[in-house]
Structure 1
């Protein structure tokens, strides 16, 4: 097991099983009950509650491991916001991506005022330990305030036509809407999307730019990284 992998001490099931369940839930638009059903087809009998516990316990650690192995983010940051439903109530999801489409961070808030807008870039700069060379947003006026207060020296571009990269990054989240509706709190949604934003893109290389052999080699490398992070070796075997 890799020295940086989570501790599974005291858990009944092996690392391979919990890692596979977390991967299924965050890589595909599957609910906990659907993951339970897929595991049952492999002869593994666990409840959807156990799958939920695995995702809550191990998901953040897996996501942190993936982030540590990512290459340095680009110097052009695209910020955008979108509506999501949390327990039937509308919330705002803020997302930042670089010029290559890599997700830098996400933040779920109940409001879309200037205070919320300023909090997100501040959190992002703290994580990245730097400011971008270029900041791109849509025409929401609160972004202007955030730029003026937090990073006045950064080149700022505000246009709905320049921010399609961030808008496209929201698409996988829309596929998770059913899971978001099942979350009862903004904190729970924030936790879910933080793990999802690190896990799902890891297994989504730009396939249209790769030949079949290149794609298979890239996916093999990414699964190898996943096994190192999770401390697993392979998928669980059928009973």
Structure 2
């Protein structure tokens, strides 16, 4: 008899001695709302669940890769006109750079946390975004020379021209979109580890995209919470 496949989130959370619904609830709240890990520890204690804040953190780190796979598989296509910018994220007391792109309607295209803000980092982000999405017709950036050089390099390699615009007011949509991510990271008071920061930021971006209605049509009519649990399954 054929074995029933084990859901990916059950593999990720194997040997964790808490009910699955408690784990998923804590992970969703942490990624979706401006809560610290200790806030969650207190909130769960009020509900009769004794869970340490460090345990919640481990759940988040383990589950985010599963969420990302589901998100990439079910994400709706974005438009061909992108707005790209980077925002600052503090890790171990130093500023790092979260590259982000949205289309002209504000839908999330892609994101990547980088240690540096230079041509190599920008090119890595653009290549990732293009691989995961349909190649854009035009990209709007700020006056960053590194971003412009990265797109020029990609144009030279691909032989297909992506139009570049450096018009500040057109990038207001991405600058406004940064605020949601920054608002969520503020209670964290800075990350202690680059790798963990990257995972947590992926989870935050996924929840943000879910709220913007970016999952496949089958998710229409479901609440953001229900769509989140669908990704975990």
For the aligned pair, the TM-score class normalised by the smaller chain equals 0.7 to 0.9
Gap regions ≥5 residues in structure 1 = 207-216, 232-239
Q: 1:146 aligned to 2:150? A: yes
Match of 2:198 in 1: 190
Alignment RMSD (CA, Å): 2.4
Verify the 8 A CA contact 2:106 2:173 in the aligned structure 1: yes
Instruction: Give matches, 1:212-227, under 5 Å.
Output: 220-227=222-229
Q: 1:81 aligned to 2:90? A: no
Q: In the superposition, relative to structure 1, how do residues 226 and 88 fare at CA in structure 2: closer, same or farther (>3 Å)?
A: same
Deviations 1:106-145 (A, max 9, x none): 22223222222222101211222x4201111111112221
Q: 1:72 aligned to 2:77? A: yes
SS at match of 1:6: helix
Q: Compute the displacement of 1:56 (Å).
A: 0.6
Match of 1:177 in 2: 186
Matched positions, count: 219
Match of 1:17 in 2: 22
SS at match of 1:30: coil
Verify the 8 A CA contact 2:107 2:212 in the aligned structure 1: no
Alignment match of 1:158 (pick from 156, 166, 172): 166
Q: Which has the bigger relative contact order, CA under 8 A and spacing at least 6?
A: 1
SS at match of 2:57: helix
Q: Compute the displacement of 1:170 (Å).
A: 0.7
Q: Compute the displacement of 1:11 (Å).
A: 2.3
Q: Compute the displacement of 1:174 (Å).
A: 1.6
Query: In 2, Cα distance between the equivalents of 1:204 and 1:3?
Result: 30
Q: 1:34 aligned to 2:39? A: yes
Match of 2:9 in 1: 6
SS at match of 2:169: coil
Q: In the superposition, relative to structure 1, how do residues 76 and 49 fare at CA in structure 2: closer, same or farther (>3 Å)?
A: same
Verify the 8 A CA contact 2:97 2:114 in the aligned structure 1: yes
Verify the 8 A CA contact 2:61 2:196 in the aligned structure 1: no
Query: In 2, Cα distance between the equivalents of 1:2 and 1:228?
Result: 16
Alignment match of 2:53 (pick from 48, 54, 62): 48
Deviates more, 1:168-177 or 1:13-22: 168-177
Instruction: Give matches, 1:116-127, under 5 Å.
Output: 116-127=121-132
SS at match of 2:170: coil
Q: 1:136 aligned to 2:140? A: yes
Verify the 8 A CA contact 1:203 1:219 in the aligned structure 2: no
